[in-house]
Amino acid sequence: MKELMAAEQTESRKLQKLLATLKTKETEITEYQTNICNIKQHASELQTFMAIKHIEKDLKVEEKFIRSIAESDITNQVNISYQVNNSLQQITDSLQKFGEIDVSSELFDFPIQKRKDRQAQIIVALPARNIDNLILTLQKRIKTYLSNTSGCSMLPDGRIIFSCYVQKKRRVFKSDGSEDFGINNIGNTFDVVFIGDDCIAVTSGCSKPIKIIDIKKNKLKKKTIEMNSQNDGVVYKDGHLIYCAGKKGLQWLVLVMNP
């Protein structure tokens, strides 16, 4: 009986550990859903597209984790059985135990359906949209108090950061349009773009370095990228900065972040 209870407790602990892990992942995915709703509500179509592309990279990690659980034996259906010792029918003084506890597991097959795959056919079936037929709807006005807004970037949590080339200023605004904080004393500024890990890249609008700013700590990181060309508008894609280099056209560079 003790062996039976011990086996049951061991399997119960494994199940509780799995449930706790899944609860944590559920919370993380809920945060992603909230961020996507905020972005769709306050961002333009282009900003929404870029932000969702960034979130998709994070979700691939979560998807890989879920699949690793599904493909492992941790989700197997556990059967605990008790096999009676045949010697019980002939009780003798030499009887050591009544039987043995056998713990076995069977593959529990449950399907994982990706919503993105389910939507793929719908997306393909949509007719092509002509940009000339798009109707723009003003959703909100944000007073930035900047004399010449030269760049902006949407953050994953729905906040927006604006930059001003003339005043050399950067300001972060909450999703409701109120100012959150400003980033000062980093020199020339033209455009800004979120690059992950609570950091943004700031172009100079001239041949000066591109600076990396930690917006969580509100300070310049040690890393700056020396440039030999003008750097104006900028976007971030899959570890690369793509920027306008004036007469040299569009340029790109690999962004390697030091810890």
- Please name each of the domains of the chain with its CATH number: 2-125 (no CATH), 149-254 (2.130.10.10)
Q: Which of the two residues, 221 and 196, has the higher pLDDT score? A: 196
- The CA-atom distances, in angstroms, between 148 and each of 76, 127, 193 are 61, 38, 17
Alpha helices in the chain (DSSP H): 2-42, 45-71, 115-125
Size of the chain, expressed as the number of residues it contains: 259
Q: Which of the two residues, 49 and 90, has the higher pLDDT score? A: 49
The mean per-residue pLDDT over the stretch 147-162 comes to 89
Q: pLDDT tier at 129 (50, 70, 90 boundaries)?
A: low
- How much of the chain, in percent, has pLDDT values that exceed 90? 8
Q: Structure pTM?
A: 0.47
- The CA-atom distances, in angstroms, between 132 and each of 121, 128, 219 are 25, 12, 42
Q: What is the mean pLDDT of the chain?
A: 77
Range 75-84 burial, b when 16+ CB lie within 10 A, else e? eeebeeeeee
Write the CB contacts of 218 (distance below 8 Å, at least 6 apart in sequence).
Answer: 181, 183
Closest CA to 186 of 208, 159, 160: 208
pLDDT at 177: 85
pLDDT at 64 over 70: yes
The mean per-residue pLDDT over the stretch 122-134 comes to 60
Q: Classify residue 54 by its DSSP letter.
A: H
Q: pLDDT tier at 191 (50, 70, 90 boundaries)?
A: very high
| Residue 219 in tokens | 């300070």
| Residue 233 in tokens | 């508008």
